């Protein structure tokens, strides 16, 4: 099967899953063509049946603002003609699904066709797509797709409620490569981060306000007098400066370490005792799944699709959004009881393997492709 994948190449869940899906499909013999404005971050190393097509942005003086959606359509048409694709799989509704629809219409004028599958990932439905200027475009492009998937049952319901679409929506959850994300012995690394044996908490995100990263710092502030801790904040984004200021104001310079973007997240997860995810909106929680597959219990908010990943009282604990006290108390339950933490850690490994292993999820995409092609 020849599959075109359009995604954002940046540090974020939709791009990560799209890239890992393409790599996994290539491993199974499919021909994969990535179409984006730069090389996806996790697309590293040469694979003979993976191709990358860069969308070059126009620099014409009349275009004061970039017209990525139109340029993407032109590049997609070029790739379809060159590679004779069977399926165009776009990740994130804006502008990818709109561009995909325009691509189909142009092909139809030339008596050609391609099946368009749109995977919705979260803020394209729950935030950006609800803006008045975008809502009718998102609704239309979903309804005109040949297939639609979401990464959680929660997001499927939000899509139906917010846009009133009549499509049959397939839930195919995010997945993990258990050969990559797994517990590892990295004692020397742990000693350098926590030389006095401090407990290590970690948070990974793109530092947007929706992630409520300041809550992780406030949790540490409540723990530090009773439990020596270090908090590793991985990633970068608009909230970082304010978070650094909060850490300074609370006198937590030594306890809170801003690590920036990291390519080897799995090594950091392997030295961690707990993963913090206090977001006010999450459609799935891929970073939590990555932590769980490394055996790290999750302390999270009880919102969106997170409860479909993190099971309260088994793989971690759920609290209401903004309930710092409850989250801190849940941290204490595990940090002060190593036997309990180890039991939760083992539960995390089992849940990741049974429900989210790529060897279980990727075939679901293959089956879905076949169903869409047969329509």
Whole-number Å distance between alpha carbons of 220 and 333: 14
Q: What is the pLDDT of residue 62?
A: 58
Threshold 0.75, pTM exceeds: yes
Report residue 126's pLDDT band, with 50, 70 and 90 as the boundaries: confident
Is the predicted pLDDT of residue 115 greater than 70, yes or no?
A: yes
Q: What is the pLDDT of residue 244?
A: 97
Q: What is the pLDDT of residue 235?
A: 92
Determine contact, residues 281/302, Cβ cutoff 8 Å: no
**Among the residues of the chain, which ranges form H helices?**
13-27, 68-83, 96-109, 123-126, 135-143, 153-163, 187-193, 213-223, 240-249, 265-270, 286-293, 324-335, 338-355, 358-374
- When pLDDT is averaged across residues 325-343 and rounded to a whole number, the result is 98
Is the predicted pLDDT of residue 11 greater than 90, yes or no?
A: no
Residue with tokens 């679901």: 364
- When pLDDT is averaged across residues 317-325 and rounded to a whole number, the result is 98
For 199-248, what is each residue's pLDDT tens digit? 999 999 989 999 999 999 999 999 999 999 999 999 999 999 999 999 99
Q: What is the pLDDT of residue 215?
A: 98
Is the predicted pLDDT of residue 157 greater than 90, yes or no?
A: yes
For 165-212, what is each residue's pLDDT tens digit? 989 999 999 999 999 999 987 666 788 888 899 999 999 998 999 999
Q: What is the DSSP letter of 295?
A: T
Q: What is the pLDDT of residue 185?
A: 74
Domains of the chain, with CATH numbers? Answer: 2-175+358-374 (3.40.50.2000), 187-355 (3.40.50.2000)
Q: What is the pLDDT of residue 189?
A: 74
Is the predicted pLDDT of residue 65 greater than 70, yes or no?
A: no
Q: What is the pLDDT of residue 287?
A: 94
For 348-361, what is each residue's pLDDT tens digit? 999 999 999 999 99
- When pLDDT is averaged across residues 248-264 and rounded to a whole number, the result is 93
Q: What is the pLDDT of residue 41?
A: 81
Q: What is the mean pLDDT of the chain?
A: 93
Whole-number Å distance between alpha carbons of 231 and 315: 20
Determine contact, residues 129/168, Cβ cutoff 8 Å: no
Is the predicted pLDDT of residue 270 greater than 70, yes or no?
A: yes
Q: What is the DSSP letter of 233?
A: E
* Residue 312, helix vs strand vs coil: strand
Whole-number Å distance between alpha carbons of 98 and 70: 9
Q: What is the pLDDT of residue 264?
A: 79
* CA atoms within 13 Å, Cβ hemisphere of 229: 29
Bond into 95 cis (ω within 30): yes
């Amino acid at each position: 099967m020849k599959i075109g994948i359009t995604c954002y190449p940046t540090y974020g869940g939709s791009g990560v899953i799209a890239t890992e899906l393409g790599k996994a499909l290539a491993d199974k013999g499919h021909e994969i063509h990535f179409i984006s404005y730069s090389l996806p971050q996790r697309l590293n190393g040469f694979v003979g049946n993976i191709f990358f097509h860069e969308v070059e942005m126009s620099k014409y003086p009349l275009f004061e603002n970039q017209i990525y959606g139109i340029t993407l359509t032109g590049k997609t048409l070029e790739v379809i003609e060159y590679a004779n694709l069977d399926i165009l799989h776009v990740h994130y509704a804006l502008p990818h699904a709109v561009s995909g629809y325009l691509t189909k219409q142009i092909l139809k004028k030339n008596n050609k066709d391609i099946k368009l599958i749109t995977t919705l990932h979260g803020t394209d439905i729950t935030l950006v797509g609800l803006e008045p200027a975008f809502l009718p475009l998102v609704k239309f492009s979903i309804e005109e797709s040949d297939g639609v998937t979401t990464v959680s049952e929660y997001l499927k319901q939000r899509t139906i409620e917010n846009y009133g679409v009549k499509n049959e929506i397939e839930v195919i959850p995010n997945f993990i490569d258990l050969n990559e994300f797994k517990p590892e012995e990295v004692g020397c690394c742990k000693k350098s981060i926590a030389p006095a044996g401090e407990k290590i908490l970690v948070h990974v995100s793109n530092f947007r306000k929706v992630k409520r990263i300041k809550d992780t710092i406030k949790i540490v502030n409540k723990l530090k007098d009773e439990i020596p801790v270090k908090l590793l904040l991985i990633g970068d984004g608009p909230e970082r400066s304010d978070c650094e200021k909060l850490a300074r104001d609370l006198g937590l310079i030594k306890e809170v370490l801003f690590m920036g973007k990291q390519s080897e997240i799995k090594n950091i997860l392997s030295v961690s005792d707990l993963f913090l995810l206090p977001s006010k909106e999450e459609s799935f929680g891929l970073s939590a799944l990555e932590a769980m597959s490394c055996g790290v219990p999750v302390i999270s908010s009880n919102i969106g699709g997170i409860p479909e990943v993190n099971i309260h009282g088994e793989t971690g604990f759920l609290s209401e959004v903004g309930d710092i006290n409850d989250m801190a108390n849940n941290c204490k339950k595990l940090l002060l009881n190593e036997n309990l933490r180890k039991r939760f850690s083992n539960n995390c490994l089992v849940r990741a393997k049974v429900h989210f292993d790529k060897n279980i999820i990727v075939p679901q995409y293959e089956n879905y492709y076949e169903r869409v092609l047969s329509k």
